[in-house]
Amino acid sequence: MSKGSQSQEQLSELEKAIDVIIDVFHQYSRREGDRDTLTKKELKLLIEKQLGNYLKHVKNKATIDEMFKDLDVNKNAQISFCESMLLVLRVTAATHEHLHEVEDQQHQHQHHHQHQHHH
């Protein structure tokens, strides 16, 4: 699959990000089994290598088994690209929230001790 035709045009930031997501999925999906789905082993590798930092922000630390069950919507023991997007979505949303929390904390520090009534 060559992306020759695309490279002539300037891709936007978001388009580049989409490209990267697809590329990363394929780096893992083609390791074993079906080239276009993730096995549990492939999902585990992808999560460890690609989402290690950001998964910290996801509140419920599910095991790989739980995540796999959760993502495998059609229960065929494979994670399709669309199913893997649910994970990316969840991590992205959690990271977004986390960034706001960090901003809020920084914001509070600037308003010295106004709201520190500990009960």
Consecutive sets of 10 residues in the chain, 119 residues long: mean pLDDT of each?
A: 61 96 97 96 96 86 90 95 95 93 88 57
With respect to residue 3, please indicate whether it lies within any of the assigned structural domains. no
Closest CA to 58 of 88, 79, 85, 38: 88
pLDDT, residue 8, reads 65
Q: Which domain holds residue 39?
A: 12-110
User: Quick check: 54 and 91 in contact, CB under 8 A?
Assistant: yes
With respect to residue 92, please indicate whether it lies within any of the assigned structural domains. yes
Helix (H, G, I), strand (E, B) or coil at 79: strand
pLDDT, residue 112, reads 59
pLDDT, residue 119, reads 57
Q: Model pTM?
A: 0.78
Q: Note the Cα 71 to chain centre separation in Å.
A: 12
- Per the structure block, which two tokens stand in for 5? 């035709």
| CA gap 100, 80 in Å, rounded | 31
With respect to residue 5, please indicate whether it lies within any of the assigned structural domains. no
With respect to residue 20, please indicate whether it lies within any of the assigned structural domains. yes
